[in-house]
């Protein structure tokens, strides 16, 4: 058994190394690569994707897993070795269904699509992006055909990001929150905040964000922050975390964008080092991962205790813009519920409505009830219906997100699921750390970071999403009610004007 386990770990480490090499190329493509390098990069990523896929789905991996089955059954369910064998078997059985060349083709198309999207967004040209989108959709349809499903062809794509969850289950959660969010948005008071529309020097935004990042619990020398077109976070080990953000000429929305990506980074940073170079070195689902990015962005980053400490330093950094803005006025402004065009800049109350829109559109695309060429019209109509917002351009509408350019269909629901899960976990955090508000008021965030690391991040993928939620909260179900109660309380506390 020891020899077989060692052989399995060695093979998985090689696969992990290849995935990480591809990840470095992907990060470079989106952050530092000159635009004309796109075609060569697509080929390189396709090759790495094919080789890593072939190495993982090899018959020898299946033989090792079968020989290790008795050993797995002799162990505690959540032991590291049992979890490694069980999770690898699940991943191997799923990956075996996908031909290696299809995997490579999907990677190549996603890499090419990214730069097509960047140019199309910059020039507000949906027609230029349409061929790349259609190719990605066709490849996803071929991918879906590799699997069986009983509710929607969207489910195999959802499963890539939210394992073991069905499309109908997501729809049930969204059907619960949608009418409540719509009502809250309609009833929310109008809060004018012209100071958030002023020019803020990007270099000072970065300087201030890095001051905050240094207090979150990252080990010095284990992370970096860069700029990109669409913010994201990736990691190549628990001690190599790459955060990205973007700075606008006006406003300071980059602060919350950076905190959001830092939440992803803290999750990667907190995974137990013993899980490195195995399939366990990740989060159980993107919904759980997003629960942490949303927690750090909103539950921490828009809270009264947090800004009780950080508002004066912010005023000192931007005296021309904020010197005459009172604390209560600022706090109300950054917590207002106000429909807008851009998802990544949306407030807590409207954010999940942006996700529901994308979920509905993705389902229609995969189920064949929406033609890709009709996307702008469908998008604009849904924005008007859900958020009451008229879309002035495709760059601010259907072209605003990066996901479809790389074939990331099925990803969007995890954002709103993360919102819901974040409040379930937050209730446990508050019980475990009764003086959390006092710690945040003192600018101390490592206590929160350490608790989340010890009780969530360090587990990696040892448990399924439902098992992980159940271990933390006592129930495996995704429950929207704490999330809705939180938003009701937040909106009701907003002043009539500020």
What spatial distance separates the first Cα and last Cα of the chain, rounded to whole Å? Answer: 67
Determine the Cα–Cα distance for residues 423 and 409; give it in Å rounded to an integer. Answer: 25
User: HSE on the CB side for 175, CA within 13 Å?
Assistant: 6
Residue 198 near residue 369, CB atoms below 8 Å: no
**Cα 303 to Cα 331: distance, rounded to the nearest angstrom:** 8
Contact present, 281 and 20 (Cβ < 8 Å): no
Phi–psi pair at 199, nearest 5 degrees: -80, 130
Rg (Cα) of the chain, in Å, rounded? 22
**What SS3 state is found at 494?**
coil
361 SS3 class = helix
Helices (H), 162-276: 167-187, 202-213, 254-270
Q: State the helix-helix crossing angle for 481-492 and 413-432, rounded to 10 degrees.
A: 80
Tell me how far apart the alpha carbons of residues 371 and 393 are, in angstroms, rounded to a whole number. 19
Catalytic residue from among 72, 162, 253, 261? 261
Is 261 a residue of the active site?
yes
User: Which residues are the active-site residues?
Assistant: 261
């Amino acid at each position: 058994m020891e020899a077989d386990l060692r052989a399995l770990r060695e093979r998985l480490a090689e696969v992990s190394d290849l995935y990480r090499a591809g990840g470095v190329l992907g990060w470079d493509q989106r952050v530092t690569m000159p635009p004309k390098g796109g075609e060569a990069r697509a080929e390189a990523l396709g090759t790495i994707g094919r080789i890593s896929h072939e190495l993982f789905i090899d018959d020898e991996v299946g033989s090792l897993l079968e020989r290790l089955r008795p050993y797995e059954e002799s162990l505690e369910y959540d032991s590291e070795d049992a979890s490694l064998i069980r999770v690898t078997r699940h991943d191997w059985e799923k990956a075996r269904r996908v031909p290696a060349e299809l995997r490579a083709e999907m990677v190549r198309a996603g890499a090419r699509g990214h730069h097509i999207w960047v140019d199309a967004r910059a020039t507000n040209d949906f027609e230029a992006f349409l061929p790349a989108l259609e190719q990605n959709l066709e490849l996803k349809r071929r991918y879906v055909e590799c699997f069986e499903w009983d509710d929607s062809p969207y489910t195999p794509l959802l499963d890539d990001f939210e394992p073991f969850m069905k499309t109908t289950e997501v729809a049930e959660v969204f059907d619960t929150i949608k009418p409540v969010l719509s009502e809250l948005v309609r009833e929310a008071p109008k809060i004018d905040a012209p100071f958030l529309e002023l020019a803020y020097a990007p270099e000072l935004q970065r300087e201030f964000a890095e001051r905050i990042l240094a207090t979150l619990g990252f080990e010095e020398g284990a992370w970096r922050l860069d700029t990109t077109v669409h913010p994201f976070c990736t990691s190549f080990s628990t001690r190599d975390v790459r955060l990205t953000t973007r700075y606008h000429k006006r406003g300071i929305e980059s602060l919350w964008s950076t905190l959001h990506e830092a939440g992803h980074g803290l999750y990667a940073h907190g995974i137990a080092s013993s899980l490195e170079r195995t399939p366990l070195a990740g989060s159980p689902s993107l919904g759980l991962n997003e629960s942490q990015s949303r927690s750090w962005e909103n539950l921490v980053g828009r809270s009264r205790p947090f800004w009780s400490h950080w508002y004066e330093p912010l005023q000192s950094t931007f005296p021309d813009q904020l010197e005459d803005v009172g604390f209560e006025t600022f706090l109300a402004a950054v917590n207002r519920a106000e429909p807008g065009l851009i998802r990544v800049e949306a407030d807590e109350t409207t954010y999940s409505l942006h996700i529901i829109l994308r979920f509905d559109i993705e389902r229609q695309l995969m189920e064949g009830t929406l033609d890709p060429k009709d996307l702008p019209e469908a998008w604009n109509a849904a924005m008007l219906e859900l958020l009451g917002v008229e879309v002035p351009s495709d760059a601010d509408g259907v072209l605003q997100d990066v996901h479809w350019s790389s074939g990331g269909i099925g990803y969007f629901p995890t954002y709103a699921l993360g919102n819901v899960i974040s409040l379930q976990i937050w209730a446990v955090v508050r019980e475990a750390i009764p003086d959390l508000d006092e710690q945040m008021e003192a600018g101390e965030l490592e206590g929160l970071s350490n608790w989340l690391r010890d009780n969530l991040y360090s587990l990696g993928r040892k448990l399924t999403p439902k098992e992980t939620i159940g271990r933390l909260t006592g129930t495996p179900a995704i429950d929207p009610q704490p999330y809705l109660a939180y938003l009701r309380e937040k909106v009701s506390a907003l002043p009539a004007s500020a």
